[in-house]
Amino acid sequence: MLSKKQAKIFFLGGTVLFFLIFVAMSFHSLTVGIPQNTNADQLSDQVKQGKLLWDKNNCMGCHTIMGEGAYYAPELTRVYSRKGADYIRTVLNAPEGWGPRGRMMVKYEFSEEEVDAIIAFFEWMDNAHLNGFPPEPSLEK
Amino acid sequence: MKFTSQKIAYHFFALSMLLLVLQIVYGFIMGFAHMGFDGLHEWIPFNAATATHKNLLVVWILSGFMGAAYYIIPDESDNELFSVPLAKLQFWSLAVVGVIAVAGFHVGWWEGRKFLEIPRPLDWLVALNVILFLVIILMTLLKGKKQTTTAWVLTMGLVFAALLYLPGMIYFDNLSVDSFMRWWVVHLWVEGVWELIMGGILSYLLIKLTGVDREVIEKWLYVIVGLTFLSGILGTGHHYYYTGGPDYWLMVGGIFSALEPLAFLGMTIFAVQMYRKGNKRHPNKLAIYWTLSTAIVSFLGAGLLGLAHTLPGVNLYTHGTLITAMHGHLAFWGAYASLVLAIIAYSMPLMTGRKLHDNRTGHLAFWMSNIGMVGMTMAFAAAGVAQVYLERIAGYDFMVAAKETQAHFFVLIIAATVFTIGVLMFISNFVKFGKPVDEALQPEAEFEAIQG
Ligand code: HEM
Ligand code: HEM
Ligand SMILES: [Fe+2]
């Protein structure tokens, strides 16, 4: 039968081993994989500002992006190609807050520059390689 | 209770209960909003409610863990707590930081990073608070007469949890990198180091409640936490499938996260076996119920419902839908919420000397909260499956699918009401215990004392 000492070695050994593998893989992901998949060279100041606005307004508190966030409002990973820049501009500038189908979005007072930054951020997101997410609907309508 | 300083745990448990109630209030706000009743939108928009709901959850669980540590570590190391005034300071600063954070969410002082919405300046105060907590715990342990495996596993879990908070405090311009590091905190917490805390607390409870030999229990504790890290660390990959990570995570994350339920199954078998081997003479029936339910429901919520959407082929469709919310609720409830309720149910009679450990209110609280939560999980599941089919498979707009799922949120509200009544009954028992008293001091180990 397994002794307590052996069990302890299993725990400590396994933890150290798998943690090291994980750190090495994370290092590779952060320095090579993600920059490639997300076109890190296209992260302009405007995109960065858009990301900051996304963050500061907690847009993720209603929407998902890359499938992460809350489930109260639409997925926005591919919103740039799905709806286009003009539509997004209309949403962000809606004077009484956006909500054509009853569910209200928070009313924002973004400047033109800020709206452009958010659109640039979505355009950057749109080009990221995400292993096929979001999936193409498989059912013919 | 062996040492008067253990009484400090009560403060943390009381804070836990208060924040739990608040968390539930915000859950209702969101449930109604999903149903189409967003009357509070002007004052508490959904993103404020969700940040509050999730952070109150994290804080009340952490407060429960801290209380548990303040109760368990002196007992396990056979030593008074290092410093009660410092522990009180730590408690009040925790409460103050918590209040500021929650108030901030209502005026837009936050960062849009799910579960880590607390803004960075406040993060530093959180870090300071946790360091103070760890110093008190470590000093108590190191100065103690003995250092048990249970105490070390619990303490290590707490130390690692604190360290893992740090990667979440760095800002990144690239959303994908930001998300990558966010999972170092969130995933490595709930599917890693928090399981150490869970294992430590469960092991303490089982030693006390079943009377089975410590050596046997602690041996299995090592095996379980070994399995946790073996699967859970690389299992982080299940969050890297579709968020910009390299494609090898599909394989690595898929395989290792599919092994994660083993650790939870381990906890179930561990607790049930120890209970069966034990002498079943402990009078605190409610603590036994909560201990066993933690071990069982965590397997259902985290293990089975996690497995249900962890393979890349499934996750492509369920990723970021109400299916995730289904799993999130039962997993958090079974593993961590129930665990905190278990240690409260165990320690309150010993701290206050009042024997409310087998009463009707307590049993009703147990059944109603668990049944209510299972009902909520089923409502989320139904809504989630509908959403996946309509939105991801048939290609309807998000809002079209959302309208179709409103009825499921009505069911959610009904189940949540049952759940809430259960929780309120638990709290009414908690209040009836009153405050801890020095007269409850028992120099002998509680278990033997009760055996007699
Ligand atoms: C009356 C009780 C509750 C109700 C009505 C409720 C309702 C909700 C709703 C509507 C959401 C938001 C889903 C979205 O993003 O659109 C949510 C999120 C969440 N709630 Fe609750 N909740 C309740 C209690 C709890 C409890 C007790 C826990 C933990 C034990 C919990 C844990 C969570 C978690 C982890 C999330 C985030 C899930 C995710 O984004 O995947 N909730 N809740
Ligand atoms: C007690 C342990 C666990 C807790 C508290 C927990 C909780 C959660 C929560 C709250 C989320 C939503 C996170 C977010 O979107 O920000 C989540 C996501 C997820 N969990 Fe767990 N979980 C646990 C264990 C597990 C296990 C053991 C598995 C696998 C077998 C698993 C598989 C997943 C997957 C695949 C996702 C991502 C869902 C998506 O793509 O949207 N979880 N979990
Ligand atoms: Fe995870």
Residue whose CA is closest, atom 4 of ligand 2? B331
Mean pLDDT of B38-52: 97
Helix (H) or strand (E) holding A69: strand A68-69
Q: Are A23 and A65 part of one and the same domain?
A: no
Alpha helices, H only, B81-174: 84-105, 120-143, 149-165
Q: Are strands A68-69 and A64-65 parallel, antiparallel or unpaired?
A: antiparallel
Q: Are B199 and B218 in contact (CB under 8 A)?
A: no
Give, rounded to a whole angstrom, the gap between the first and last alpha carbons of chain B. Answer: 17
Residue whose CA is closest, atom 5 of ligand 2? B332
For A72, the closest of B33, B110, B249 (CB atoms) is: B33
Least confident piece of the model among A125-134, B206-215, B243-252: B206-215
Is residue B380 in contact with ligand 1, taking CB distance under 6 Å? Answer: no
Taking the alpha carbons of A116, A119, A120, A121 in that order, is the dihedral positive or negative? positive
Mean pLDDT of B331-356: 96
- B120 C-beta neighbours (distance < 10 Å), count: 12
Atom of ligand 2 nearest to the CA of B320: 41
Q: B3 in helix, strand or coil?
A: coil
pLDDT of residue A140: 67
Q: Are A72 and A122 part of one and the same domain?
A: yes
CATH architecture of B4-440: Up-down Bundle (1.20)
pLDDT of residue B78: 94
- Domain of residue A9 covers 1-38
Residue whose CA is closest, atom 21 of ligand 2? B306
Is residue B161 in contact with ligand 1, taking CB distance under 6 Å? Answer: no
pLDDT of residue A100: 84
Region of residue B212 (phi > 0: left; psi between -120 and 50: alpha; otherwise: beta): beta
Mean pLDDT of B398-425: 97
Q: How large is the ipTM? A: 0.97
| Identity of the residue numbered B48 | A
pLDDT of residue B385: 98
pLDDT of residue B451: 43
Cα(A103)–Cα(B41) distance, integer angstroms? 10
Closest CA in chain B for residue A63: B47
Mean pLDDT of B400-426: 97
Give, rounded to a whole angstrom, the gap between the first and last alpha carbons of chain A. Answer: 60
Residue A101 CA to ligand 1 center (angstroms) comes to 24
Structural domain boundaries of chain B? 4-440
Beta-carbon separation of B403 and A101 below 8 A: yes
Residues A104-114 as b or e (16 or more Cβ within 10 Å = b)? bbbebeeeeeb
Cα(B23)–Cα(B9) distance, integer angstroms? 21
More confident residue, A99 or A120: A120
For A58, the closest of B47, B316, B320 (CB atoms) is: B47
What's the token pair of residue B128? 């300071």
What's the token pair of residue B441? 């001091």
Closest CA in chain B for residue A37: B244
Residue A12 CA to ligand 3 center (angstroms) comes to 22
Q: Are A48 and A13 part of one and the same domain?
A: no
pLDDT digits (tens, 9 = 90+) for B293-332: 999 999 999 999 999 999 999 999 999 999 999 999 999 9
Beta-carbon separation of A34 and B325 below 8 A: no
Q: How many domains does chain A have?
A: 2
Q: Are A96 and A113 part of one and the same domain?
A: yes
Task: List CB-based neighbours of ion ligand 3 within 5 Å.
Answer: B 187, 191
- B438 C-beta neighbours (distance < 10 Å), count: 9
Mean pLDDT of B174-194: 97
Q: Are A80 and A127 part of one and the same domain?
A: yes
Q: Are A61 and A21 part of one and the same domain?
A: no
Q: Using pLDDT thresholds of 50, 70 and 90, give the confidence band for residue B449.
A: very low
Among A124, A78, B24, which residue's Cα sits nearest to residue A87?
A78
Residue B200 confidence (pLDDT) above 90 = yes
Beta-carbon separation of B244 and A7 below 8 A: no
Q: Are A111 and A61 part of one and the same domain?
A: yes
**Percent of chain B surpassing pLDDT 90:** 95
pLDDT of residue B279: 86
Residue B447 confidence (pLDDT) above 80 = no
Q: Are A29 and A49 part of one and the same domain?
A: no
Is residue B302 in contact with ligand 2, taking CB distance under 6 Å? Answer: yes
What's the token pair of residue B15? 């804070």
| Identity of the residue numbered B397 | D
**Percent of chain A surpassing pLDDT 90:** 91
Q: Are A71 and A123 part of one and the same domain?
A: yes
What's the token pair of residue B221? 């504790």
**Which CATH number fits the domain that encloses residue A124?**
1.10.760.10
Mean pLDDT of A40-53: 97
Give the position of tokens 């967003």: B38
Residue A21 confidence (pLDDT) above 50 = yes
Q: Is B403 exposed, middle or buried (0-12, 13-18, 19+ CB in 10 A)?
A: middle
Instruction: Give how far B270 is from chain A: nearest CA, Å.
Output: 14
Cα(B379)–Cα(B435) distance, integer angstroms? 38
Is residue B328 in contact with ligand 1, taking CB distance under 6 Å? Answer: yes
Closest CA in chain A for residue B235: A22
Mean pLDDT of B426-446: 87
Residue B452 confidence (pLDDT) above 80 = no
Beta-carbon separation of A102 and B36 below 8 A: yes
pLDDT of residue A62: 97
pLDDT digits (tens, 9 = 90+) for B346-356: 999 999 999 99
Is residue B83 in contact with ligand 1, taking CB distance under 6 Å? Answer: no
What's the token pair of residue A10? 């299993």
- In chain B, what residues touch A37 (CB-CB under 8 Å)? 176, 244-246
pLDDT of residue B280: 85
Q: Are A55 and A14 part of one and the same domain?
A: no
pLDDT digits (tens, 9 = 90+) for B244-302: 999 999 999 999 999 999 999 999 999 999 999 998 889 999 999 999 999 999 999 99
Q: Are B136 and B108 in contact (CB under 8 A)?
A: no
Residue B207 CA to ligand 1 center (angstroms) comes to 33
Residue B204 CA to ligand 2 center (angstroms) comes to 26
Max Cα separation, chain A? 72
Mean pLDDT of B46-55: 98
Residue B328 CA to ligand 2 center (angstroms) comes to 6
Mean pLDDT of all residues belonging to chain B? 95
